């Protein structure tokens, strides 16, 4: 055991609630001790479910373990907590590319570039993906070779993510922070976890029963036609309610640090994904 890992292990043992698990997990991962790294990260993420760093660490370890579906979910969780997180955007871009979806990969890389235009590895990765899209050649190794916040994933295989299809595949944050509800207030898809980790999905879904009808009545009686969306600015979060179909409503919830207009754009994208999913499964 190296000195730094021993030191970090001692620190974590002395103070289990500290954030030393982040450094320890990363140190173990870099040394290839993936199982030990995973245990440390899982404990930390369980203790700090609202900490994007913890999910980011989990994603890197899972990616190294070739658990691409797990890595995708963890990076999605990190993005849900911190939508501007470049490492998660790059990680998901990497996974999309490995899964053969260059367009989604490019979309995530471009958003990463918007957040951090000075990161040369993102620019290089965008160029490589664009080239690959044109020539349909082998996948780029941007994630593995670039000096980026997402360290190399040398053990990753070319297996695409194998998780089952959800209503929000391809949407930032995936199922987290999205709630698709039928006209009876029953949840069709998505999950909504509170900051304290409590799963509020079904309760919120029940509160939304009839919201669509009420909104429709309000706008119609006021001579405003049908309703498109309802945006709520809360001091600690932003919510957008939309209606993917006549019988469903979709609630998109994000941290208040994400501007409301961007939550609106995200909600539109999620509504399109939900509509498409409903058509396939319905």
Partner 1 sequence: MSPTEAALDRVTRIPGVRGVLLVTGSDGLVVAEQLMDGVDGRAAAALTASLVGRLSRAAESAGLRPPAFVHVRGDTGSVLAAPAAVDLVLVAVVGPDANVGLARLEMIEAASRLD
Residues of the shown chain interacting with partner 1 in the complex, contacts defined by CB under 8 A:
192, 194-196, 198, 200, 203-204, 207-208, 210-211, 214-215, 217-219, 221-237, 239, 241, 251, 253
Q: Take residue 235 and report the two structure tokens written for it.
A: 């001091």
Judged by beta carbon, residue 121 or residue 191, the one nearer partner 1 is 191
Please say whether the beta carbons of 89 and 122 come within 8 A: no
CB of residue 130 to partner 1, shortest distance in Å: 36
Nearer to partner 1, 9 or 245 (CB): 245
State which residue, 183 or 229, has the beta carbon closest to partner 1. Answer: 229
Least gap, CB of 260 to partner 1 (angstroms): 8
What is the side-by-side strand order in the sheet with 187-189? 187-189, 178-182, 248-254, 237-242
In this complex, which beta carbon is closest to partner 1, that of residue 113 or of residue 215?
A: 215
d(CA 219, CA 233): 20
**Are the CB atoms for 108 and 92 separated by under 8 Å?**
yes
DSSP structural state of residue 154: T
Contact 82, 55 (CB under 8 A): no
Q: How far is the CB of 192 from partner 1 (least distance, A)?
A: 6
Q: Are the CB atoms for 205 and 191 separated by under 8 Å?
A: no
Q: How far is the CB of 240 from partner 1 (least distance, A)?
A: 9
């Amino acid at each position: 055991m190296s000195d730094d890992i021993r030191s970090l292990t001692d620190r974590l043992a002395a103070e289990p609630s500290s954030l030393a698990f982040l450094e320890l997990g990363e140190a173990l991962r870099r040394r290839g001790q993936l199982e030990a790294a995973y245990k440390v990260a899982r404990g930390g993420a369980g203790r700090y479910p609202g900490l994007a760093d913890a999910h980011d660490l989990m994603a890197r370890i899972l990616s190294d373990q070739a658990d691409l579906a797990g890595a995708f979910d963890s990076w999605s969780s990190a993005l849900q907590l911190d939508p501007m997180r470049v490492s998660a955007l790059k990680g998901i871009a990497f996974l999309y590319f490995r899964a053969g979806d260059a367009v989604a990969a490019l979309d995530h890389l471009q958003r990463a570039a918007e957040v951090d235009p000075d990161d040369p590895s993102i620019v290089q990765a965008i160029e490589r993906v664009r080239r690959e899209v044109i020539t349909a050649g082998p996948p780029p190794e941007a994630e593995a070779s670039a000096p980026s916040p997402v360290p190399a994933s040398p053990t990753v295989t070319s297996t695409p993510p194998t998780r089952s299809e959800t209503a929000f595949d391809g949407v930032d944050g995936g199922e987290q922070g999205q709630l698709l509800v039928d006209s009876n207030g029953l949840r069709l898809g998505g999950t909504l976890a509170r900051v304290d980790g409590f799963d509020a999905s079904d309760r919120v879904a029940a509160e939304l029963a009839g919201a669509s009808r009420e909104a429709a009545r309000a706008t119609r009686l006021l001579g405003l036609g049908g309703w498109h969306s309802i945006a709520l600015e809360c001091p600690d979060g932003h919510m957008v309610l939309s209606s993917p179909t006549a019988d469903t409503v979709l609630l998109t919830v994000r941290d208040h640090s994400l501007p409301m207009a961007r939550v609106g754009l995200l909600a539109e994208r999620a509504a399109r994904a939900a509509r498409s999913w409903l058509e396939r499964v319905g």
